[in-house]
A and B are shown apart, each in its own frame.
Chain A
Amino acid sequence: MTQAFLLEVEGLSVSFDGFKAVDDLSLYVEAGEIRAIIGPNGAGKTTLLDLVSGKTKAASGKVRFLGNDLTQMREHEIVRAGVGRKFQTPSVYESLTVFENLEMSYPGARNWFGAWLFKRTASVIAKVEEVAELMGLAGELQACAGTLSHGQKQWLEIGMLLIQEPRLMMLDEPVAGMSVQEREKTSELLPLLAQGRAVLVVEHDMDFVARIAHRVTVLHQGKLLAEGSMSALQSDPRVIEVYLGH
């Protein structure tokens, strides 16, 4: 278990006021893998993403990613190391245009001085247009992000991650609030997005998970309960007991 994995989570724990949100959790994600994380409410799914992205500091354990220990790094350093993260509720800059939202996420020019002197070069425009095309937002580039539909905002935020070219992309409930058609489109899109990177998806929609995930990790009370393919898990009595059965 050394170089084969892109992300290695080992013995990770954190507790809030005595409540163990994540408890001695170990998890390994390969490059190019789409991994879904499921579990009942309070199982520690979002907390796990918080720990990997540096939003929450781990009490113990390690998160290794491309030779870095993410638990020792600050949020923006983790992003620069190649981890992108989408929030549960769509987080886009509503007073800026779709173009500007994507441009803002284009890597580089990240200190104040660089940002002041930043030039909108042909390669930036090409990259923004390419990602917008992929996310189905090519027609909305000049629209204010605040005017987009809920589903479009979700796509825009995924596009904003994509433009950073992360090696690991973490999506917290990417299809929440989407219509059936939008869900379908997202599930078609995800394998495309996963090319050359790993994707970690937290999602409640089991049909969606079954369609996209290569492997599924089930969390329960902050601990790893089971791991495997969706079909194998659906017949696992422990999983049925804590989650699918209820």
Chain B
Amino acid sequence: MKLFTKRTEPSKLTASPRLDSQRVAVILTALLILVVFPLSMSPFRLGLVGKYLCYAFPALGLVLCWGYGGILSLGQGVFFGLGGYCMAMFLKLEASDKHSTAIQSTPGIPDFMDWNQLTELPLFWLPFKSLPLALLAVVLVPGLLALIVGLAMFKRRVTGVYFAIITQAIAAILSILIIGEQGYTGGVNGITDLKTMLGWDIRSDSAKLILYYVNALLLLGSLLLGQHLLQSKLGRLLQAVRDREDRVRFTGYDVAQLKTFVFVAAAVLSALGGAMFTLQVGFMSPSFVGVEPSISMVIAAAVGGRTSLLGAIYGSLLVNFGKTFFSERFPELWLFLIGALFIAVVMVFPDGLAGVQFQQLRARGRKLWTRIAGERAVGANLSPLARVSPTDADSSVAASGSGGGVS
């Protein structure tokens, strides 16, 4: 039995049993997120889980973009951040009404602008007075940026590690820009003290529960949409682009268009996560935009299994739980620990959690046990000369080595 199903194997003409087990896995995940977590956790812990689930959005996007399309982006934090900032700008303007900012030298503008001697709202902040426009911006701003970057890169056939480096550079640039332009962006502190959305207090426990559910439903919706995409010809096409880009091009497909599409889709997913993050956590700052959060997102997708959408959700939960856990106990060490986790996953389980098969684990365990037991027996009964048996040792290493993570 697989832990989660994933769609790297060829599909059948008829509905396959794998599709059914995938459906079961989705239902179980939905139950876990919608019922088990809310019932078993305190509001504080549930808030943490809600935060972790925000990171599942960029991980879902990375499964599509990286796992299937073969495009590794180390800049998903950019889109997460832009989505988050678009949401935060609306909430900040609502929190900065004339009454509550009366003590400022210019009342009615966000506090950090006042501290930076701004006397009126910058032009690009104006659309964020309206919730519909702000929600539109959550999707459009990151989507447009991804469209421009995607077209510019993919038309010029920038691929692989070069693309990854460029996206990482964009992440670094954006976070530096946000920190530098303090008066317009709130600088390194970010946009804080977010209170209400259209008068609804987002800090209350009941609001947090509702936002948790909005987030969970949005995530499950994105999951289903992603699965629908991957089961279509488009999903197979992305795999084909990953494996044989030239063949796809010489079959009459515009590869640049397909890549741009999946990159934009991943960006929009990431932005949704960012917006939900702002709503649930109550602030947005450049620390969610730069290189480090972007890489964490890739690690979450890799740990979950980069070709498994469901795995992305569990990977995000696990990695971000680990991040909280380790950063509380070993603040200087946790970055190394998370790096080690990434290396371990890539080396031992290249398909991540989704590639772990219980039967295989059991078989490996048994093999390991017989090896240990066998060596003990050999050591006990045979002469030292016979103890070294290179062929046996080699074959058992090879067998246990090849068993891991193969789907």
| Among listed A4-12, A105-113, A196-204, A225-233, interface-contacting one | A105-113
Chain B contacts of A79 at CB under 8 A? 249-252
List residues of chain B with CB within 8 A of the CB of A100. Answer: 10-11, 236
CA A105 to CA B11, docked complex, whole Å: 17
Bound-state Cα–Cα, A85 to B9, Å:
27
B239 to chain A: closest residue by CB: A95
Interface of B is mostly: helix
- The CA-CA distance from A81 to B191 in the complex, in Å, is 54
User: For A99, what are the chain B residues with a Cβ–Cβ distance below 8 Å?
Assistant: 10, 13
Q: What's the minimum C-beta distance from B365 to chain A, rounded to whole angstroms? A: 29
CB of A110 to closest CB in B, whole Å: 5
How far apart sit A110 and B240, CA to CA, in the bound complex (Å)? 13
Cross-chain contact of B246 among A87, A105, A125, A160 (Cβ < 8 A): A87
Smallest CB separation, A124 vs chain B (Å) = 10
* Cα distance A110–B236 in the bound complex, in angstroms: 12
B240 touches A75 (CB 8 A): no
Interface string of A32-49 (1 = CB under 8 A from B): 000000000000000000
Determine whether B45 belongs to the interface, using a CB cutoff of 8 Å to chain A: no
Taking the complex as formed, is A28 at the interface, i.e. its CB lies under 8 A from any CB of chain B? no
A93 contacts B by Cβ under 8 Å:
yes
B310 CB-CB contact with A under 8 Å:
no
B105 to chain A, nearest CB (A): 51
| Residue in B233, B246, B257 whose CB lies within 8 Å of A116 | B233
Is B252 a contact of A107 with CB atoms below 8 Å? Answer: yes
Q: Please give the distance in Å from A53's CB to the nearest CB on chain B.
A: 6
Of B236, B247, B255, which is within 8 A of A91 by CB? B247
Cβ B233 vs Cβ A96 within 8 A = no
Judged by a CB distance under 8 angstroms, whether B12 is at the interface is yes
As a 0/1 sequence over residues 344 to 363 of chain B, the CB contacts with chain A under 8 angstroms (1 = contact) are: 00000000000000000000
A76 CA to B249 CA in the complex, in Å?
Answer: 6
Contact pattern, B 201-240, Cβ under 8 Å of A = 1, otherwise 0: 0000000000000000000000000000100111011011
Known: A99-B13, A109-B233, A112-B234. Contact between A93 and B254, CB under 8 A? no
Question: Of B10, B229, B247, B257, which contacts A111 at CB under 8 A?
Answer: B257
Q: How far is the CA of A109 from the CA of B236 in the complex (A)?
A: 13
| A182 is an interface residue with CB less than 8 A from chain B | no
CB-based A-B contact count at 8 angstroms:
94
Do A92 and B244 have beta carbons less than 8 Å apart?
yes
Pick the most buried of A87, A94, A105: most chain B CB atoms within 10 A of its CB: A105
A13 within 8 A of B: no
In the complex with contacts A96-B10, A96-B240, A104-B254 CB distance below 8 A: no
CB-defined contacts of B232 to chain A, threshold 8 Å = 115-118
Q: Does B8 touch A at the CB level, under 8 Å? A: yes
- Within the complex, what minimum Cβ distance (angstroms) separates B245 from chain A? 10
B247 touches A95 (CB 8 A): no
B243 touches A94 (CB 8 A): yes
Q: Which of A75, A92, A144 has the most CB of B within 10 A?
A: A75
Most buried by B among A93, A109, A111: A93
Return B257 CB to nearest CB of chain A, in Å.
Answer: 6
Contacts of B176 in A (CB 8 A): none
> Please, which residues of chain B bring their CB within 8 A of the CB of A116?
229, 232-234
Closest Cβ of chain A: how far from B69's Cβ, in Å? 11
Q: CA of A74 to CA of B261 in the docked complex: distance in angstroms?
A: 19
Which residues of B pack against A, CB within 8 Å?
8-13, 229, 232-234, 236-237, 239-240, 243-244, 246-255, 257-258, 261-262
In order of increasing CB-CB distance, the 6 nearest A-B pairs are A97-B10, A79-B252, A118-B233, A115-B234, A112-B261, A91-B247
